[in-house]
Structure 1
Amino acid sequence: MNSETTYLTDLAAVLWPCGGLLGRGGGLLGRGGLPARGGDPTLPRDRTVPRDARRYRVREYLPVPSAHNPRVILPVANRYVATRGITAFSHRHTLRDRLRTTVLTAAFTSGLAPFLLRDRLHVGSGFTIEHALSSALDREVLVAIHLGPPRASRKPVLLLLTPAGRAVGYAKVGINDLTSRLVTAETRALRRLAHSRLQGITAPRLLHVGEWNGCPLLVQEALPVGHNTDRPNRRQLLRYVLRIAHLAPVSEHPLSRSPYLETLTSRIDALSARPEAPALRSALAQLPDVRVPFGAWHGDFTRWNIAATARRAFVWDWERLTFGVPVGFDALHYELNECVQAGVRPGVQQWLDRGIRLLRDPLMANAGIPNSAVSTVMALYLIDLATRYLHDRQAEGGGRLPAVDDWLLPALNGLGERAAREAPRAG
């Protein structure tokens, strides 16, 4: 068993505490003993198995593309659910991913997928996550599960579907300390957003909040994302960034007297055992004391978390929503993730130029970002991002980006020099 099959069996122990085995054809890939947490193969005592539990049974799953590289887990018994799961989780991915999706969709639609994909996750009988979700939503649901690539914040995202393949919602389960904090944070964020006015932006509604197998669980509605939506253009992107920034009143302060600086400094100080902490502390101390507008940011504003029509954006994954940060962070985060698609180091160099153009756009300038603060805001974003990665231990978790001292700190050095040159031009 490699680290991915170990992850898969550990995950199965959370979602299906009744037990399971990974298999290939007639032989076992490895035994995932899969006991329930605490050695109890049942749910907490206040839960009971529904009388009609048998009709929810989906006992065999396909790890796709394989158990050694699982990205999606799909039920073998229902091709409608499997096909919908493949297409839903490929939205706004790369051309290569979309081609793979086309092939897999054809395989599931034709019924050939179970013959072409040999790996199986066999789940024993008992009360499972499907039963709990069906009970919470008062309707029968089956699940297709997205895992994504290895990283510290990796957690299962369950697409909830009717047996006919219609999307009902998405569920998230925290499976360790970090992902549990993120699920809890997203629950708080969605509750706040339910009472906020976000003109032109739709966030998911909460459908259910609870626990499963000792882990935090949230269920949110499925947004109408599909062929009628696309990535936002630059004008739309900046408009949505500013609307999110105004979830709370935007205030302008000199950096040295901002609550944000105090918070960021404390977060860096908490990294004292990390060798990167002194470089981050030094970079922060050398930034000029320019005036900066502070507001809210989504925290993970990327092509994977937004879809737009001509008049509206659908935005999800609000687990990183934070208030009192420099306006423009969301635009910089979106652009960085776009730039690094073709390679991290050349992408970062491209971002250093494109980020300037984004923050100097008239929309951002009208929001209060002066030219004298552009490089400072970009440097603050990189310091904030590095601090997050180090707290989350992203490099150790197998994230796609290399360690921060390999790409982020060198970029930060150049930004600090540029920020110092800009500052004297402040009126």
Structure 2
Amino acid sequence: MSPIKTAPAALKADDEQLRAQYIEEVLGLLYPGQGARPVRYLVIPNARKPRLLVPDDRRVAAAAVRRYAEPQSRLARLKRDAVVAALRTGLSGLLLRDRLTLSPAEDTIDAYLGRHLGAGLRLSVHIGPARANRKPVLQLLDPAGRTLAFAKLGTAALTRELVRAEAAALGTVGAAGLTQVRVPGVLHAGQWGEHEVLVQSALPVWEPRVAPTAPRLASAMLEVARCCGTSQGRLDGSGYWARLRARLDAVAGHAEGAALRTAAERIARAAGDVQLHFGSWHGDWSPWNMAGVASGVLVWDWERFTPGVPIGFDGLHHALQLGIGRSPSAGQAVNELVAAAPDLLLPFGVVHRQAVEVTALLYLIDLATRYVTDRQAEAGARLGVLGSWLLPVLVARVEAL
């Protein structure tokens, strides 16, 4: 069955439209009901292309924009710095015109966080791209504009599960004695109404950057891979294979899921007696979830952390995310990833030709299964339509085994 013919329909709304729609949804979650005390936010850069909601306070707003995230390109940094300058100098009234005023009831997210973390917190709200796992992510600042922490809210079945998983993961990796990787600490985990809440300490992304070399980055990933112990054995006798098959069985009713299960079974047969090494992976080690500083590699967003996977998945995932940003198409990035797999997996000790092939293809199966399970295409995720990029390459590569 062709994965191209059975892929979900093309996305019906672009990312900007979906972000704009999300503002009303997220503010309704954070500030329910009607009250008398107003809450005011400034929309950055505007209501048509929202990226961030910041307090309508020049000093706090400038700090929120400056320290929320590190842009991935020089042009993005220039745009960010221009917004910060406008806020600091008072020109924001001319350049940044879109403001929101709410009058919520008393039971707001501000009140909840204040009870658990102390009064006086100011919040900025990230407006992320459309994804099934999109959730309210808040930057917590003090009145002077210092970033104190970040909070995530799980508001649906999937995101509640992910928030709980990240809290558990941070506890695990935080106790593992990592020396090369710095992770956030858990400041609070609880429930606000039906929502899961996780507050974690802010990593010092404002420290001077030291871009990690390829060996340093691989070494940091290998430290995470070993943090819960490692094992070695055949694929078909591993706990990983049993878990992957269960995940594939759960999505077998989807055409894409059926194609993935067929491909996975073919990989397992081709793996034969090849020995794989299993360890942990971060699960989404991408350029925007990390930063290099003198004291180590800062890594956040641990909600997909999983022990017992083929070692090297993090290296492959990081390379694919970079490739998608640089290649003319996501499909080409997948082909380039498979071709580069021997070099990418070498620092992880994966050198046998069959082990390299199996590890790279299993990573693609794992990632695609996540997309189908989470229903990313239905949520409007840009890469959710697997038949347009990942499935055709994966099927062709598996058939060539």
Provide the TM-score with structure 2 as the length reference. Answer: 0.89
Change (3 A) 1:84 1:230: farther
Matched, 1:14 2:25: no
Contact between 1:202 and 1:313, CA under 8 Å: does it hold in 2?
A: yes
Write out per-residue CA displacement over residues 83-139 of structure 1, whole angstroms, 9 at most, x where no aligned residue.
122122340422332122022111111122233223222110543222222221124
**Structure 2: how far apart are the matches of 1:207 and 1:387?**
32
From 344, 353, 362, the equivalent of 2:339 is: 353
Mapping for residues 16-415 of structure 1, pairs under 5 Å: 16-19=31-34, 59-76=39-56, 78-127=57-106, 128-287=108-267, 288=270, 289=272, 290-342=274-326, 343-359=329-345, 361=346, 363-365=347-349, 369-415=351-397
**Structure 1: how far apart are the matches of 2:128 and 2:21?**
15
Contact between 1:4 and 1:67, CA under 8 Å: does it hold in 2?
A: no
Aligned-pair distance for 1:226?
2.0
Change (3 A) 1:173 1:402: closer
* Paired residue secondary structure (2:367): helix
Provide the TM-score with structure 1 as the length reference. Answer: 0.84
Larger radius of gyration: 1
Change (3 A) 1:215 1:231: farther
Identity percentage of aligned residues: 38
Contact between 1:73 and 1:146, CA under 8 Å: does it hold in 2?
A: yes
Aligned-pair distance for 1:6?
3.4
Q: For structure 1, which segment, 167-176 or 303-312, has the greater mean C-alpha deviation from structure 2 after superposition?
A: 303-312
Write out per-residue CA displacement over residues 370-413 of structure 1, whole angstroms, 9 at most, x where no aligned residue.
33310110000000000000111111222222511221122213
Structure 2 residue identity aligned to 1:304: W
Aligned-pair distance for 1:58?
6.7
Question: What is the number of equivalent residue pairs in this alignment?
Answer: 379
* Paired residue secondary structure (1:150): coil
**Structure 2: how far apart are the matches of 1:119 and 1:189?**
38
Contact between 1:18 and 1:123, CA under 8 Å: does it hold in 2?
A: no
Mark the runs of 5 or more structure 2 residues left unpaired by the alignment. Answer: 1-15
Change (3 A) 1:355 1:198: same
**Structure 2: how far apart are the matches of 1:402 and 1:298?**
21
**Structure 2: how far apart are the matches of 1:231 and 1:176?**
36
**Structure 1: how far apart are the matches of 2:104 and 2:238?**
56
Change (3 A) 1:58 1:141: farther
**Structure 2: how far apart are the matches of 1:115 and 1:18?**
32
